[in-house]
Structure 1
């Protein structure tokens, strides 16, 4: 039987850091290790859901995580994997899709100056140790800029206008909680899902599900037949705020 396809975000969708959990994390549900010790765990319902999905669907991660951060996940992904905000598509054998990577590499290199300017702004125009920022790299190429506050998420409000002025129309903004990033136009989770779907859906039609928590996940989810969102997620909160439920 042909299995359905699930394109799914990871962080805050199938697992989350301990501080975001309502119940104490369980060691046997450790889902991803972090270099700073802020590990991610599944809740009981998430763990049961993943057992079901991994056993009955083609589960394909769609994540902003780099390939290095993705390797720290303990979830046994065995199919394609979309990472680095769509810049890299890993084949089932773990190697990058060469055609896709060449395309996104050219797009990223055209935005190198803007990404470096964003780093420079944070380092020269803000108080030391108030923020941490970096450019996510793959195989020697910088693909997107990310900044987090070292205090609380509201502190990002203080620098968002300045960063936006530098980013201009050539970089796309993403923000969710204490995470603000800018990615070159043309590189996105949606573009990667559309590219991969042409390969996976070339034969018999199968149901395709898109799962994610963030408003920035909605574009790739919108290419799927059905959308799945976690309760209490950014998408869920926006629906409630707008009176949709």
Structure 2
């Protein structure tokens, strides 16, 4: 069975952002209001033109920290996703758009050892930040949380209180990463790379993505598994590149 070439892409910060991107920007995510759906994120026109053209020739697979509910609010005219790796790899959506039950069963085992630690870290962040950081447990396809995220103003993480919280974070088996304004705490076995590898073997005949797109240093892990890398200009990942 032959498989179509595919592209793996992060979403927020790579394809679109909450900031309005100009009069020719294309709505990318939506929220429900009493008046009906209202755009909540936008894709710059140049990005839209590129991705629309790529979608005509390749399968586009989302690789994102968004959970299933958040991903359901992504709707971009003319661009369809042919599967998705969600919640930093804890959730897999197959090419038919359905939750992949085999991966879900696997993650039920993976996540079973981290629930207490994630809850303890959530309580620690809530207490030590005194409301400056907003921690929540992100849903997986199982009754167990996929990971923890805590959002605060980017500047707050550099204050004495923010630095103290990060230095005393009660993580043992989990790993923590600060991505701009949000802290992510991920259980072992949860990563975009592992999700990408499983999707490749299950739905792409073992063929790696032709291209990987991402905007953060954390995305580089899964992007290295792709044949080509795409980095948005001005992104955090681009700023990490040094040219002699």
Mapped to 1, the partners of 2:186 and 2:71 lie a distance apart of 19
| Of 26, 29, 41, the match for 2:26 | 29
**Correspondence for 2:111:** 108
Listed as ranges, the gaps of 5+ residues in structure 1 are: none
Is 2:172 aligned against 1:175? no
**RMSD of aligned Cα (Å):** 2.4
The answer to whether the Cα contact below 8 Å between 1:109 and 1:142 also exists between their aligned partners in 2 is no
Q: Deviations over 1:8-38 (max 9, x none)?
A: 000111111116x4xx355x61101257988
- List runs of 5+ in structure 2 lacking aligned partners: none
SS in 2 for 1:17: coil
For residues 206 and 130 of structure 1, the distance between their equivalents in structure 2, rounded to whole angstroms, comes to 41
**1:131-170, aligned counterparts within 5 Å?**
131-139=133-141, 140-149=143-152, 152-157=153-158, 158-159=161-162, 161-163=164-166, 165-170=168-173
Does structure 1 residue 92 correspond to structure 2 residue 89?
A: no
2: CA distance, partners of 1:16 / 1:101: 29
Secondary structure of the corresponding residue to residue 60 of structure 1: strand
Cα distance in 2 for residues equivalent to 1:186 and 1:171: 9
Alignment-derived partner of residue 191 in structure 2: 188
TM normalised by structure 2 equals: 0.86
Shift of 1:78: 4.1
Which residue of structure 1 aligns with residue 47 of structure 2? 46
CA gap 1:213/1:78 in 2 versus in 1, 3 angstroms: closer
Q: Which moved further from structure 2: 99-108 or 229-238?
A: 99-108
> Aligned residue for 1:18?
19
Q: Alignment length, in residue pairs?
A: 234
TM-score (norm 1): 0.86
Q: Which has the higher helix share?
A: 1
Cα distance in structure 1, aligned partners of 2:91 and 2:134: 24
